[in-house]
Every structure is written in structure tokens, then in C-alpha cells.
Structure 1
Amino acid sequence: MGNERNSAVAPAAPVPQRPTAQLSTSPSAAQKLVDRIAAVGELLTGRPVSLYAASVLRIGYGLLYLAFLLREFPHRDEIWGPGSPWTPALAQQLFAQTGWNSILTLSDSRAYFEVCYALAVATSALFMLGWRTRVLSLLFAVVVISFHARAIFMTDGGDNLVLLMAMYLVLTACGRHWSLDARRIRLKTARAGTSPQQAKGETAQQLRDALATLTTVVHNCGMFVIAAQVCFLYGSAGLYKVQGASWGAGTALHYVLNIQLFQPWPALSHFVDEHTILIAIAGYMTVLLQVAFPFVLFGRLKYPVLVLLLGMHTGIAVLMGLPLFSGAMIVADAAFLPDRFYAALPRLCRRAAQRTGVRRMAPSRATGAGSVPAQGRPGVPSLK
């Protein structure tokens, strides 16, 4: 009886429950994959990335190619014109093998060539200034491709990167900032007093949204391709150098400095070559920077690396006489600086100018009601 009473009042043993809550909160591998795909899709379609960097690329490469055409103006006939040793007939034979083409080979007339050259100069200048960049970006790519293909063996190779970037910039919205197009839109908005009127109707609005999304996706893909191209260029160059015995021995730059073809100032090259230890350190640093470049882009270490690369390309331009190549690489490196850096540049320049007394803003102009609104004003769409 006592045992029966104890068994009657004893609490029932708890029934073990399945950890359903824990299973529901831990995401599966499939869910993680879906989340990552959604994050990539949001990155591509959410907003345009690196708009200021794209504008810097437009200004840089437009200015570089304009300076290149003006520098070679006295020698234009020997390089691209009818008087070139690489005749249009030879160029056509090469085009049949490579698939390239050029508008310069459509006619052997000197007048036609001069017109093409003048249009190339005007296109480069207008592209740099950002006038009708949607059309000018395509025309600039045609100009660079045509001049590169016409005399592919007559240049120093510095225009190879300019050629690739000109084609990639066609995909980007490189006229959103620091351009005549952006200025025209700001002035139009300031005169109207409100933002531009949106298209009426649900269907029209959907088409506008779809066009904006498509533009964003194409621009982001273009910027990602540019970044991948620069990473591939640095990485492959560094790995090729690692395989060379002279780079491993630290003597590669000694031989480079003694190539007569790349000695614009022989006395300066010989002076630098006398410092053997510094030459060896510079050679090892060159290989290290190029190999490490793709791996430091997602941290703060990329900023000192970009500064060292700037010094390296400046040395190449001065000591080897390759300004076009060095300028193209410096402009390409500028694509990896964040937009907040470029957005802060005008303010920093104004502060520096005010401190040095070079330029002082009048109070009426700075605070007047008729001043042009800032470029990043909310609610004002920036169109290319």
C-alpha cells in the first residue's frame, strides 16, 4: 500500500522532446547558398557602384589619349597615315588574320586621314569633358580601336590597357559626376525648382524602373570587369617575374636601366643604377606588390599598396620613358579608391585653397539663393 501511494503521488517523468526549435533556427547549406545569391543580386541591382571612380577613369583615359594624339601630331603620317611603313595593305592582311578593323583603312586619301585625326582629337576631348557621354563613350572606343589596329606594331604598348578600358567604359555610367552632362542636369533642375517630372502611367513607370535596373546592372558588371582586368594584369605580371632568375637574384632592374632603347636620360639611369642595394630592394618590392595586389583589395592594406604602386609607375615613366603606359596604370589603380574619397576631394581642395590664400569664396556666392545646388543633393536624379 505504501508503495502504491508513493507511486500515485510521484510526478511523471518528463518526456524528451525533439529539438525542433534548434533545427528551425540553424540555416541549411541550401539556404546559405540562396542568401549568398540574393546578396550578389542585390549588389548588382541595388545601386550603381563606384560612380566617382568611373568618372575618374573617363577623365583619365580621355586626357591620356588626347595627350597621346597631340604628342604624336608631328609624326601622325609615319605612324597611322598614308606615309606609314605599315601600309594599309599590310594592315588589311593582318586584319584578315586577327579579325580587327579600322576606320583609317577605308581610304588612302590624306584628306580623309586628316579628318579622322581631327575627329579623334575632338572625340577624346569631349569624352574627357563628359559631353553626351552615352554616345561619346562608344565613339571613343571606336577611335582607340581604329588607331590601335592601324599601327599595332608602331606604338610602345602603353595603349593596350587604354584599348581595354575604352571598351569597358562603354558599359559604365561614367558621366554621372564631374561632367558637362551632370552640370547641365543640375542647372536644369535649379531653373525648374523641382526634380524632373516622372513619366505618367503605370506601364511607363515600370519601363523606367526596368531601364534603371538594367543600367545599374550593366554599369556594375562593367566596373567589376575593370577591377578583375587590373587584378589579372598585376597578378600575371608578378607571377611571370617570379619565374625569372634575374628577378630572383635582384638584378633585373639593373639590366632594365641599361637598355639604351629605354633611356630618355642616360645620366639619370646610370646614377640610379649605382645604388645596387636599393635597386635590388626595388625589384623585390615590385614582385611582392604585383603578386599581393589582388589579395589586399578588401582591406585597408590596399591604400599603402596603391601609394607604392603610384611611386613605381612614376619611376617607370621617368626612367624608362613610358608615360602612356604609366599613366594608364595609375588611372586604372584609381578605380579602387572608394567614392567617399572622391566625394570629399572638392571640400578638401577648397579648405586647402582657403588656408593657402589662393582662392577665397565670397560669402554672397557661398550662401546666395541662386547658387547651383550640390551634386549629391537628395532627390535630384543624375543621368548620364
Structure 2
Amino acid sequence: MGTEQAPPAHPRRTPERADAGTPQRALDRIEVFLTALTGRPISLYAAAVLRIGYGFLYLVFLLREFPHRDEIWGPGSPWTPELAKQLFDQTGWGSILTLSDSRAYFEVCYAVALVTSALFLLGWRTRAVSVLFAVVVVSFHARAIFMTDGGDNLILLMAVYLVFTACGRRWSLDARRTRLQACVGRAESNPAGPGPGEFMHQLRYSRGALTTILHNCGMFVIAAQVCFLYGAAGLYKVQGGTWGNGTALHYVLNLDLFRPWPELSLMADGHPVLIAVACYLTVLLQVAFPFVLFGRLKYPVLTMLLGMHLGIAVFMGLPLFSGAMITADAVFLPDRFYHSLGQLWRRAAQRTVVGEAGAPTSGEPALVPAQPGPAG
């Protein structure tokens, strides 16, 4: 019919070429994904912030409840170890606190929990301490599960997830020890022969690749958990009539259980328009959060969420929950942000040291520290 000699009307009318290129593009994307998964650990600073944040929160939590520890988790609790074990048989939970009814054993466990939280915060032997920290959080959570809230649940999940991450690579005692060992190792030669040296090199490479994969998968699961948390909370609020008409926060501010500062709650409740705007903005932020993570809107949304959680901590008296959510949001900030914070901190520290050493303070600040004069 003459169509064989006629040139194609449109260049993109080449289905064979497009079909041939689709598998190749898919393979290229898979290769890029695997390279990103195994190439290098991502978000090391964010993992360090999560470690520091949750270690600090749980340490403060245990210290705050220290006077009431026996009534909550100890032998004097109304929820006895026998009742807890009966619940464990149904739910599959477990706790090291129910292994003995001795008060001395409980006090030792509480002291171990305090020390573990502090060591996890500081990043000392993080790989082993993170496992112990997860056991501590799970044990205390399961022992008094009916006294927990959303903040406790989130800390529990994050404690388990952080076991699989390299959260001790930055801002930790482990990182400091690694730097010191690297400085010492540069001046030493490897006396091992080629055989054992090659084997150890392959072993270290395999260990590093496995650590990288576990870390990257753990950080991805943490980010997905936060997205699901915000998305589910927002969609649940959409179904409520009080959130739809903008009166939900009005009822919250008038609950005695969530009024640590009654005068402040009454003052905020006196502005119904602002209360309605806060209700709608809360729902919008939570529903839209998973969809703005890959654009520039992520940063203003994170800033508004920070303000929302601070408001929850002040108006509703839930600092542990707010702290857990603020720490979880830190996973979405890139490493360059934390690196810039570290540089600003070091510059501020250097300026402080220079100022205390007697640098000139009048006029413009000194940019170069004063050099010592020649001897003699």
C-alpha cells in the first residue's frame, strides 16, 4: 500500500525501539537502587540525632519517674508480675522485670536501664548498647503497658529500628575512638602476609557492606514509619466531625487531664478563629506530609510541625510525646544540614576560646588568633 517506503510521520512512532529500551531502563534503575543501598551509609548524622534524642528522652523519663518506679514497674505495682505474665501469654510480649519478684533485682534492673540510656546517648559501644537499650525499652514498656501513650509506642519502635542502623558513626564516643585509632594506624605498617591480609580485607569489606545495607534499610523503615504515622493520624482526623468544623482543639483545651496551665488554655480558647485555623492546618500538615518529602515544601512543613509539637508539649502537658515526634522528624533533614550545624558550633566555640584568651574585643572581631611573639 505504499506505507513501506513512506517515512514515519512522527519520530516517536518506533514501538520496537521503545520496547527494547524499557527493560534496559528498568535494569538501570535497579542498578542505581542497589548502588545506593550498598554503596555508602546514608543519613549518618540523622541516625546520630535519633540516638541522642531517644537516649536522652528515655533517660529523662526514667529519672522523672524514679520516685514512682515501684508503683509503676516494681513489686509494689497494682499490675502484679503474675498479671503481666498472663497478658504476655496472650500477646507474646516479654519483660526482664518479671523474671523475679525481688526488690533488689528490680533496683538492679532500674540502675542498668539508667546506665544503658546514658551510654546509648553518648554512643559508647553503640552496636552492643543499642541492643541492650532496645531490650530495656521493650521490658519497661511491656511491664506497664496500660500506662503507655503514643510517645512511648514511638520510642519503642525507634529503639528496635536503631539496632539495625550505624547510629554511632557520628557525634559519639565510638566516632572519637575511631578517629584516634585511625591517627595511630597511619604510622603503622601491616606486618601480615599477602594471604591473611587479603582474607581480612575481604572480611572487612563484607562486614562493611552488610552494615551499610542494614543501616540504609533501617533508616528507610524509620522514615516510612513516620510517614505512616502522620498519614494515618491525618486521615483519622478527617473522619471526625469536630476536626471538620474546627472545634476539636476547643474540647481538648477544656479537658482537665490535658490542662497543665489552665490560664494559658483559657487564653488560647478565647480565640475561636485561631483555634479553627489550627485544627485545619494540623489536618492538612499531617495528610500532606508524606507527599512533600521530595520537594522544597518539606522544610516549611517540618518547621510548622515543630511548632505544632511544641504547642502540644506546652498546652497539653505531653513533653515526652512531643520530644519523640520532634526527634523522629529529624530523620528527614539531610546530612549537610547537620554538618553545617557542626561547623557553626565549632566556630562559636573557637570564638569563645579566642575571646577568653584575651583577643581584642573592641571594633571588629578578630578573625585570626593572636600569634605568639618570637622567643627571647
The Cα shift of 1:88 comes to 0.7
* Residue correspondence of structure 1 range 98-247 to structure 2 within 5 A: 98-194=91-187, 200-247=196-243
Q: What does residue range 66-105 of structure 1 map to in structure 2 within 5 Å? A: 66-105=59-98
Distance 1:327 1:195, change over 3 A: farther
Displacement of 1:346 after TM fit?
Answer: 1.9
Would the alpha carbon gap of residues 235 and 49 (structure 1) be closer, same or farther in structure 2, given more than 3 Å must change?
Answer: same
In structure 1, C-alpha distance between the alignment counterparts of 2:356 and 2:287, rounded to whole Å: 46
Distance of 1:196 and 1:253 partners within structure 2: 66
Unaligned runs of 5+ in 1: 1-14, 368-384
Q: Distance in 2 between matches of 1:121 and 1:359?
A: 37
Instruction: Give the distance between the partners of 1:268 and 1:189, measured in 2 at CA.
Output: 54
CA distance in 2, matches of 1:39, 1:343: 26
Query: SS of the residue aligned with 1:158?
Result: helix
CA displacement at 1:360 relative to structure 2: 4.3
SS at match of 1:226: helix
Larger of the two Rg values belongs to structure: 1
Residue 168 of structure 2 contacts residue 174 of structure 2 at CA under 8 Å; is this kept in 1? Answer: yes
Q: Tell me how far 1:352 sits from its aligned partner.
A: 4.5
Alignment check: 8 A CA contact 1:104 1:116 kept: yes
**Farther-moved stretch of structure 1 (342-351 vs 62-71):** 342-351
Structure 2 CA distance, aligned partners of 1:360 and 1:77?
50
Q: Tell me what 1:42 maps to.
A: 35
Paired positions, count: 348
CA–CA distance in 1 between the matches of 2:188 and 2:332? 32
Map 1:301-316 onto structure 2 (within 5 A).
Answer: 301-316=297-312
Among the aligned pairs, what percent are the same residue? 71
Q: How far is the alpha carbon of 1:219 from its aligned partner?
A: 0.4
Q: Superposed, which structure 2 residues align to 1:247-286 within 5 Å?
A: 247-286=243-282
The aligned amino acid for 1:162 is I
Residue 374 of structure 1 is matched in structure 2 by none
Contiguous gaps of at least 5 residues in structure 2? 360-367, 370-376
Q: How far apart are the structure 1 equivalents of 2:17 and 2:238?
A: 51
Q: Report the aligned-residue RMSD.
A: 2.5
TM-score if structure 2 supplies the norm length?
0.87
Q: Distance in 1 between matches of 2:189 and 2:133?
A: 29
Counterpart in 1 of 2:372?
A: none
Deviations 1:42-89 (A, max 9, x none): 111111000010000000000000000000000000100011111111
The answer to whether the Cα contact below 8 Å between 2:151 and 2:325 also exists between their aligned partners in 1 is: no
Residues 54 and 173, structure 1, Cα contact 8 Å, conserved in 2? yes
- Residue 8 of structure 1 is matched in structure 2 by none
Give distance in 1, aligned partners of 2:41 and 2:127.
16
Q: Secondary structure at the match of 2:296?
A: coil
Q: Distance in 1 between the 2:17 and 2:275 partners?
A: 61
Q: TM-score, with normalisation over the residues of structure 1?
A: 0.85
Paired residues of 1:189 and 1:195 also in contact (CA < 8 A): no
What is the aligned partner in structure 2 of residue 338 from structure 1? Answer: 334
Instruction: State the distance in 1 between where 2:343 and 2:25 align.
Output: 42
